[in-house]
Amino acid sequence: MKVGIVGAGVAGLAAARVLREAGHEVAIFEGRDEVGGQVVTFPVGGEELECFYHHIFTSDTTVIRYIEELGLGPYLRWIEPRNAHFVRGRMYPFVTPLDLLRFTAIPLASRIRLGLAALWLRRRADGVQRYEGITAREWMLRAVGQKAFDAFWGPLLKGKFADQADQVGMVWLWNKIHLRFASRKGGSSKEVLGYLEGSFKRYYRALADRLEAQGVTIRLETPVEQVAVEAGRVAGLRAGGAFHACDAILLTVPNVIALRIAPDLPPDYRATLQRVRYQWATCLVLALDRPLTPYYWLSIGDDLPFVACIEHTNFMPPERYGGNHLVYLSNYTAPDHPVLRMDADEVFEHYLDGIRKLNPAFDRAWVREKWFFKDPGGQPVITTHYSRSIPDMRTGIDGLYLSNTSQVYPEDRGQNYSLLLGEKVARLMHEDALQTARSRGAGI
């Protein structure tokens, strides 16, 4: 087949790898000037840094496999992070079970219930079947009580999903907890997270280089305008002002973009895509001349204009970034949120009081540089019975396929599962091509 892939994120690159190894002719079309998708980077102090914070868990075996197969295993670092939760104006460390007992923002009985609920969920392997019909709010209120919910899980759900928080399914939260415990090696009480020296760009750029060496065409700065369909079958796509004939096309873009560039999608499939709601992901990245907090990951339980403070250089040394101390202030917003219309300076002003709540000594003079990044496909809203909303990889148009984060379930979106999705859809496309060839050979 002659295959066109829309999007050069890790799903598109993984799909291209499988399809090319199966003997197909592959071209990738990407609107940005670089591969990587949501793992894209920018330079700081002589080194690349992800626009949106990234790390991996020990259970992310697919991305680890890619890193090792590309000869980059020696650059993969496993680190015990220092994490904390900020609530009622105070930072509470959250690294070991003992830290939970010290979480004096809630009574002792509530702390015990919070810990027991986490242990219960950690041991459940049947979360999808057990929790599909219940919201995270409903289950957690019953399990940990109002005080623990209001101090911990409630703010985290609201921060991630805003006005959709009460609709989030318990499967999503179960899997988050299950995954975090799975990242603790050898039964240790401490979490271990992985990061690739030089950024994750190091492996996906190496993958793109290998694909190009194998004959895959990667067209950057070539946004796809429309998928062309004739008689119910893919004919090609229009991109960069030109028409490219294709036997099959894979869309690895968010649903909202798929709906725009593929207007001939069947009505029932369009309705499925439209059912999935997204929160925008935003990150204000600050380069400071000193640390802001002592922690890598600081979740926010108070009513601040951001939901997490991720201090990357409390994980990797600031010397790698020209001595800059790098802080992500993360938020997830509805598509009409005012912050999406702001630039980095305006967002900084909007966040300033919140930053000073984390560190009252903070001064504007600490800031060397600032950047603001946003992505419309940041977080699909995982509601109850979400399995009914997952779009099929086959779109209903012969030769047109979809692979994106709305299909990552029960796992949460992330590069590990995007790689898996890319491989899965590529195998499906190849099998469909073989079946079509067999049918033609049999005269069907």
Please list the pLDDT of the chain residue by residue as tens digits (444 residues): 999 999 999 999 999 999 999 999 999 999 999 999 999 999 999 999 999 999 999 989 999 999 999 999 999 999 999 999 999 999 999 988 899 999 999 999 999 999 999 999 988 888 888 999 999 999 999 999 999 999 999 999 988 888 889 999 999 999 888 776 655 655 556 789 999 999 999 999 999 999 999 999 999 999 999 999 999 999 999 999 999 999 999 999 999 999 999 999 999 999 999 999 999 999 999 999 999 999 999 999 999 999 999 999 999 999 999 999 999 999 999 889 999 999 999 999 999 999 999 999 999 999 999 999 999 888 899 999 999 889 999 999 999 999 999 999 887 778 999 999 999 999 999 999 999 888 877 654
Measured distance CA(296)–CA(313) in Å, rounded: 8
DSSP 391: P
Tokens of 17: 């790898």
CATH class of 2-38+200-277+383-441: alpha beta
Cβ count within 10 A of residue 126: 8
DSSP 36: B
The per-residue pLDDT for 284 is 98
DSSP 150: I
Measured distance CA(358)–CA(364) in Å, rounded: 14
Rounded to two decimals, what is the model's pTM? 0.93
DSSP 317: -
Instruction: Kindly report, as residue ranges, where domains of CATH 3.50.50.60 are found in the chain.
Output: 2-38+200-277+383-441
Tokens of 192: 């271990």
Measured distance CA(334)–CA(378) in Å, rounded: 11
- Hey, CA dihedral for 429, 34, 211, 2, is it positive or negative? positive
Query: What are the respective helix, strand and coil percentages of the chain, to the nearest 5?
Result: 45, 25, 30
Task: Compute CA 138 distance to the chain's CA centroid, rounded to the nearest angstrom.
Answer: 25
Measured distance CA(175)–CA(409) in Å, rounded: 9
Instruction: Kindly report, as residue ranges, where domains of CATH 3.90.660.20 are found in the chain.
Output: 278-380
Tokens of 166: 């009460």
Architecture of domain 278-380: Alpha-Beta Complex (3.90)
